Amino acid sequence: MKTTSTALPSARHQQQWTNWGGNQVCTPALTVRPATEAEAVAAVRHAIKEGLGVRVAGSGHSFTPVVQTGGMLLDLSGLQGITGIDASTGRVRALGGTTIDRFGDPLWEHGLSLANQGDIDKQAIAGAVSTATHGSGIGLGSFSSTVRWMRLLTGQGEIVEIDETDPERLHAVQVAVGTAGVILELELQAVEAYHLREQITYETTEELLANWDRNPAESRHFSFLWCQAPESAGLYELPTPEGLDMVGRAYTKRYWAESLDESDGQALTSEEGRRRDRAYRIYPGGFMLPFHELEYYVGVGRAKEAWVALKDLIVEDFPDQHYPIETRWTRGDEAFISPFHAEDKVSLSVSGAPGTDYWPYLQAVDALLDGFDATVHWGKIHLLTRERAERLFPRLPDFLAVRRELDPHGVFLNDHTRALFQ
Ligand SMILES: Cc1cc2nc3c(=O)[nH]c(=O)nc-3n(C[C@H](O)[C@H](O)[C@H](O)COP(=O)(O)OP(=O)(O)OC[C@H]3O[C@@H](n4cnc5c(N)ncnc54)[C@H](O)[C@@H]3O)c2cc1C
């Protein structure tokens, strides 16, 4: 196989790539960081000609081997920017590499906000969309569910546009884990701008279970991180009151939408746990300490039972595992391989400590939650096989048909995604 790159003078050879969590590393033959759409097209055509596989990197915040390649790594961080906002329809267009934190101010100036946000906003929008990244709110879908149009570079080096007039193809590319082509640009449905009012509490297991259904129904965003050990909260850098025993309690987050008058100096507050601010300034936080996360999704009807079983598994069989159980709610959607396809789901996530052998623990969590027919976050550690994917994602064949049409020779498959999506 030839790896010359005279056609791509800015390409770098054998440059190591590492994800945020440090658990995925690869050394692509070529790394290309296009600054224009034309450069991206030239890079993919070059890879096709040279017989190199291509994987696209967003911000590298996935824990799974979804970016890994020995061929060409296409780093889309140079393709950033909001390309259009239509205040009358609430639609926003952006280049695929645009990080989520770049949407807030421009949307606000047009009276708009993103409908939902996750725990952080450092991901590239196309990376977030590709894995169905979500926040928490029983009435709120993932980023992918808000995609209305996409400009894609296919495995044949051609540009195609897919929109709502072709729902089958749109639902296929809304979540595609980078296997249906390079997302050059996309359009999201935003919502009317809103402020949020925050409330942080530290609820006991009994309180959380007693209000399991009521809690998510009563606020725009509700989620909690349940702590099994004194060190649990610190592992995710969760601020807790001095002296409060967090064992058997959760850091519990509630947010209500509000319309605040910003000209009144009293309206906004940055007081921890009681903030009032624009949604995009208040919801996403940040993580400094690395962790390796697994996140599975159980239908709302069985989620409480699954949560109790997961808690008991940790307490009884894995007392040395201290990362909290993060619990969030997401509305069902139509994307074919969305983990939320056609069903509202509750996310249950746990993490392993970097540098330790957490596999027996994560394998046990996987086996337990598979008993609840849990779907998985494509960007977080999971143990899904093709056989399980066929059972859990009824529209997988429809996804595969569109994927093969857009990338008939599997240019965008690596070992991990080939096993699942060839
Ligand atoms: C600290 C932290 C917090 C997180 N919080 C949340 C959260 O609150 N909610 C949640 O759901 N997830 C969360 N995640 C997971 C994260 O949102 C997803 O893994 C997401 O995919 C990462 O986006 P990225 O830009 O880093 O993409 P990458 O990890 O770089 O890539 C993810 C996938 O997208 C593909 N891709 C990227 N760009 C393109 C493109 N332009 N065209 C085609 N394919 C592309 C890649 O090939 C890959 O398959 C978190 C992860 C971390 C590390």
Average pLDDT for 2-7 = 54
- Report how far ligand 1's centroid is from the alpha carbon of 373 (Å): 23
- Report how far ligand 1's centroid is from the alpha carbon of 420 (Å): 18
**Among residues of the chain, what percentage have pLDDT more than 70?**
99
Is 378 a domain residue? yes
**Residue 97 sits in the same domain as residue 137:** yes
| pLDDT number for residue 6 | 59
* Number of domains the chain contains: 2
User: Of 160, 192, 224, which one is at a domain's C-terminal end?
Assistant: 192
**Residue 143 sits in the same domain as residue 243:** no
Is 409 a domain residue? no
In DSSP terms, 341 is beta-bridged to 333
Is 372 a domain residue? yes
Question: Is residue 422 within 8 Å of 397, Cβ to Cβ?
Answer: no
Report whether pLDDT(5) > 80: no
**Residue 108 sits in the same domain as residue 185:** yes
Is 2 a domain residue? no
**Residue 256 sits in the same domain as residue 326:** yes
Average the pLDDT over each of 22-26, 280-284, 400-404 and give the range with the smallest value: 280-284
Supply the CATH number for residue 145's domain.
Answer: 3.30.465.10
Quickly list H helices, 89-219: 104-109, 125-130, 167-173, 205-210, 214-217
Print the domain residue range for 142.
79-192
Residues near ligand 1 with C-beta < 6 Å? 20-21, 55-62, 66-67, 76, 96, 118-120, 123-124, 126-128, 130-131, 133-134, 177-178, 182-183, 287, 377, 379
**Residue 188 sits in the same domain as residue 266:** no
Average pLDDT for 372-387 = 98
- Report how far ligand 1's centroid is from the alpha carbon of 380 (Å): 9
Question: Is residue 257 within 8 Å of 113, Cβ to Cβ?
Answer: no
| pLDDT number for residue 311 | 98
At 283, is the pLDDT very low, low, confident or very high (cuts 50, 70, 90)? Answer: confident
* Residue 310: its H or E element: helix 300-317
Average pLDDT for 124-135 = 98
**Residue 271 sits in the same domain as residue 152:** no
Question: Is residue 229 within 8 Å of 192, Cβ to Cβ?
Answer: no
Average pLDDT for 416-421 = 98
Strands 249-258 and 221-227 come out as: antiparallel
**Residue 187 sits in the same domain as residue 215:** no
Mean pLDDT over each residue of the chain, to the nearest integer: 96
Structure tokens that stand for 115 in this block = 């409908």
Is 169 a domain residue? yes
**Residue 166 sits in the same domain as residue 247:** no
Cα–Cα–Cα angle for 398, 346, 259, rounded to 5 degrees: 105
**Residue 178 sits in the same domain as residue 254:** no
Is 97 a domain residue? yes
- Report how far ligand 1's centroid is from the alpha carbon of 62 (Å): 5
Nearest CA to ligand 1 atom 36: 127
Integer Cα distance of 78 and 59 in angstroms: 11
Buried residues in 162-195 as b, exposed as e (16+ CB within 10 A): beeeeeebbbbbbbbbbbbbbbbbbbbbbbebbb
Sign of CA dihedral 49, 52, 56, 59: negative
246-272 pLDDT, tens digit per residue, is: 999 999 999 999 989 999 888 999 998
**Residue 149 sits in the same domain as residue 121:** yes
Is 68 a domain residue? no
**Residue 101 sits in the same domain as residue 226:** no
Integer Cα distance of 114 and 125 in angstroms: 11
**Residue 253 sits in the same domain as residue 222:** yes
Integer Cα distance of 384 and 420 in angstroms: 8
Average the pLDDT over each of 6-10, 66-70, 215-219, 323-327 and give the range with the smallest value: 6-10
- Report how far ligand 1's centroid is from the alpha carbon of 148 (Å): 19
Structure tokens that stand for 235 in this block = 């592992």
Integer Cα distance of 68 and 25 in angstroms: 7
Place of tokens 């005279």: 6
41-54 pLDDT, tens digit per residue, is: 999 999 999 999 99
